[in-house]
Structure 1
Amino acid sequence: MSGTVTGTPHASAPVLAAYSYCEAVTGRQAGNFSYGIRLLPTAKRRAMSALYAFSRRVDDIGDGPLDDEAKRLRLEETRAVLGRIRDGEVEEDDTDPVAVALAHAARRFPIPLGGLDELIDGVQMDVRGQTYETWDDLADYCRCVAGSIGRLSLGVFGTVPGARDTERASEYANTLGLALQLTNILRDVREDAANGRTYLPSDDLAKFGCSAGFGSPVPPPGADFTGLVAFEVRRARALFAEGMRLLPMLDRRSGACVAAMSGIYRRLLERIAETPQAVLRGRVSLPGREKALVAVRGLSGYDARTVHRQTARGRA
């Protein structure tokens, strides 16, 4: 897979303005994602910002205050915008800057836009209030809302000539997305419960006596919440270990971006592992200074080597 397409379209003033809008959205809202994206060269950074801004729009519909029917309508309207982008119908003077930027990025890079359809499908699962019986069920959801982002990002990153096993690059990008999403689910377990959502598989909840849910800062009576978190952390570590096989297939700065984002989430996962019940008291996070350090190490190649060694323990 090549990182760019020959004969790339010129970025006119309206397109540059659209990218600036998307970069502003990314800077305000992307959180952990933004630390990695800053490490990319300009064209890739802009394309990733366009992907983020569109994805943010989809997520905000799912998490917003509209009733379920209105959310479903808005999601289908957003899918229609995606269809216009895919069909080359978005002009530079379109009033939607996210559509303008994403349309330009999709002409410049081989972005598999179907991944955004999957993201919409995943958010529709949230709107329906879907729950998950087994890990396989949850993994299908995670592939939609996070694995898809990994595969979309790979379309921007590309793979380096001569890298081994590049036919599995999309698989690894998908798996890395699952690792990040499972970490998010553990981090947000109390917040999601307050919003009436449960993502952890009901089989796992039953196994550790946690089927009553997480409506308070303490585990349900008789629950082995620490055991549940340890079980899910081991699963996430194994996913990180597999997904990080993507790194040697990427160029230095794309690899640094992935290493930074993955490194931040891996540190977050380990913080959760150290104090499982902290996620019941509030959102566990890393200070900005620590995130910035991970990003700098990613650019230097440090995390590209060390994170792979660390995550290899997940297979043990």
Structure 2
Amino acid sequence: MPRNGRAELDAAGIVDPGLRAAYAACRELNAVHGRTFFLATRLLPAARRPAVHALYGFARHADDIVDDLGDGRSFADRAAQLGSLAVSLGTALDGGPAAHPVLAAVADTARRYDIERQHFIDFLASMRMDLDVTDYPAYADLARYVHGSAAVIGLQVLPVLGTVVPRAEATPHAAALGVAFQLTNFLRDVGEDLDRGRIYLPADELAAFGVDRGLLVWCRRVRRTDPRVRRALAHMAARTRAVYRRATPGIGMLEPVSRACVACAATLYREILDEIADSGYAVLHRRVAVPARRRAAVALPGVARALAARLRATRRVRTPSPARGA
């Protein structure tokens, strides 16, 4: 286990060897598959990072069941495996044995932070949709999928981050940020999703710009971006930016030690939209990414803010309250 991983588990008070190994497996999944998210997580206090890694690890594990199409599994196999995951998760959340390391870690996290079970149920329901839903007629249809696949992720993470206002006040903003991240991913990954037979863009809005599945497939095949596709994607990018604006007030509602992490993630994901626009919306034949030097430029000031917030929090804890009447 990397030294930083051990320090995080020590800070979180996770001492059981089996649980430490489970959390370490989730951390590795985050480090390998979620570069932007993992970078932002480094800005959290060490004690809170394992919980975020566990939530990411579970989501990634479920996502791999439905998205790894090169392993020869049939639809029925995937459906059965996803159903088994739901049962195993329920057992782990009830305090029973965990059938997989990510389940041990995420169940422990759910208990530590009192995360609602319904969020996990809603997430798995959206994963189940990925097995047989390939198109979304309108944004309202897509929104039902996005609630379970993204909004609930924001709601799961919120108790870990902590708030300075009643949690219910921050909840809509946390959900909106999860949605914004997911919509950004849809635009970035439209070509890869098309290869899996899925389109996460509302069909009626595509049609308004003269775009359909056939045109998208053609653009993917010939590695060109049709002007109609460009206009449709620009429209959807604009809506995604509006979702980020709805989410932004929630950052100030978080505990100060968590704000730098979320601000960094939000900035970097918004900049994926910038990269998409700068590419001429050529996402059907390439995968855009924020350059490493830019990720570092965003993260470094965040490190300073995070350290300052932790120092202030430490001083508040160490400074005794004045006696009443003094």
- TM-score class normalised by the smaller sequence: 0.7 to 0.9
1:69 aligns with 2:82: no
The aligned counterpart of 2:228 is 224
Q: Deviations over 1:184-241 (max 9, x none)?
A: 1111111111221111001111000111341222245xx5222212211110011000
Task: For 2:192 and 2:18, locate their aligned partners in 1 and report how far apart those are by CA, in whole Å.
Answer: 39
Q: Deviation at 1:95? A: 6.0
The aligned counterpart of 1:102 is 106
Would you say the 8 A contact 1:150–1:176 is kept in 2?
yes
Would you say the 8 A contact 2:216–2:229 is kept in 1?
no
Task: For 2:296 and 2:118, locate their aligned partners in 1 and report how far apart those are by CA, in whole Å.
Answer: 32
Task: For 2:301 and 2:242, locate their aligned partners in 1 and report how far apart those are by CA, in whole Å.
Answer: 22
Q: Deviation at 1:301? A: 4.5
TM-score, normalised via structure 2 length:
0.82
- SS of 2:239's equivalent in the other structure is helix
Would you say the 8 A contact 2:189–2:283 is kept in 1?
yes
Q: Measured at CA, do residues 300 and 122 of structure 1 come closer, stay the same or move farther in structure 2, by a change above 3 Å?
A: same
Q: Deviations over 1:271-305 (max 9, x none)?
A: 21233332122101112232232222334449xxx
Larger mean Cα displacement after TM superposition, 271-280 or 249-258? 271-280
1:189 aligns with 2:204: no
The aligned counterpart of 2:239 is 235
- SS of 2:283's equivalent in the other structure is helix
The aligned counterpart of 1:82 is 89
TM-score, normalised via structure 1 length:
0.85
The aligned counterpart of 2:264 is 260
Q: Measured at CA, do residues 112 and 296 of structure 1 come closer, stay the same or move farther in structure 2, by a change above 3 Å?
A: farther
Q: Alignment length, in residue pairs?
A: 287
Would you say the 8 A contact 1:183–1:269 is kept in 2?
yes
Amino acid at match of 2:75: D
Task: For 2:26 and 2:159, locate their aligned partners in 1 and report how far apart those are by CA, in whole Å.
Answer: 18
The aligned counterpart of 2:311 is none
The aligned counterpart of 1:5 is none
The aligned counterpart of 1:175 is 176
Task: For 2:151 and 2:99, locate their aligned partners in 1 and report how far apart those are by CA, in whole Å.
Answer: 30
Counterparts of 1:30-45 in structure 2 under 5 Å? Answer: 30-45=34-49
Task: For 2:287 and 2:189, locate their aligned partners in 1 and report how far apart those are by CA, in whole Å.
Answer: 6
Would you say the 8 A contact 2:61–2:102 is kept in 1?
no
Q: Deviations over 1:50-91 (max 9, x none)?
A: 11111111000010132111111111111112101221223x
Q: Deviation at 1:171? A: 1.2
Higher RCO (CA-CA < 8 Å; seq separation 6+)? 1
The aligned counterpart of 1:122 is 126
Identity %: 35
Q: Deviations over 1:26-47 (max 9, x none)?
A: 2122222111111112231001
The aligned counterpart of 2:206 is 205
Runs (5+) with no aligned partner, structure 2: 1-11, 307-326
Task: For 2:303 and 2:169, locate their aligned partners in 1 and report how far apart those are by CA, in whole Å.
Answer: 24
Larger mean Cα displacement after TM superposition, 94-103 or 28-37? 94-103
Amino acid at match of 1:199: Y
Amino acid at match of 1:189: V
- SS of 1:102's equivalent in the other structure is helix
Larger mean Cα displacement after TM superposition, 291-300 or 56-65? 291-300
1:24 aligns with 2:25: no
